[in-house]
């Protein structure tokens, strides 16, 4: 059975990361899902997908009232569409969102 691991790189110096980024791209391009290697890079994102999941969980966990389900969907949409993902725990301080 295939197992997956997710790694999120925090890149503060893109020039210093360039060699590693090129290696990631090489491994990702070489990955063949029809003939997978013993291990490989099957997906790449240029964003912090773990943070995106945290945002969805933060917003979803704020209410158990089904009448608010549309508002939850709209809040998730707004948070994920922001120019910059909200900082952890800051979603309810809407002034902290990139799309003011």
DSSP 1-58: -----------S-HHHHHHHHHHHHHHHHH--TTS--SS------SS-HHHHHHHHHH
For the chain, the structural domain boundaries read 1-46, 49-96
Start-to-end Cα distance in the chain: 45
> What is the full per-residue pLDDT of the chain (100 aa) written as tens digits?
889 998 889 899 999 999 999 999 999 999 999 999 999 999 998 878 888 888 888 887 776 666 677 778 888 888 778 777 777 766 555 444 444 3
Cβ atoms of 43 and 61 within 8 Å: the answer is: no
Q: How far apart are CA 13 and CA 2, in angstroms?
A: 33
């Amino acid at each position: 059975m295939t197992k997956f691991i997710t790694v999120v790189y925090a890149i503060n110096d893109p020039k210093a990361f360039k060699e590693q980024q090129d290696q990631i791209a090489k491994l990702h391009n070489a990955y063949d899902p029809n003939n997978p290697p013993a291990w490989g890079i099957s997906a790449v994102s240029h964003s912090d997908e773990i943070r995106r999941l945290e945002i969805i969980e933060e917003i979803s966990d704020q209410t158990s009232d089904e009448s608010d389900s549309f508002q939850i969907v709209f809040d998730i949409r707004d948070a994920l569409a922001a120019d910059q993902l909200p900082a952890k725990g800051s979603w309810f301080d809407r002034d902290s969102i990139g799309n003011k």
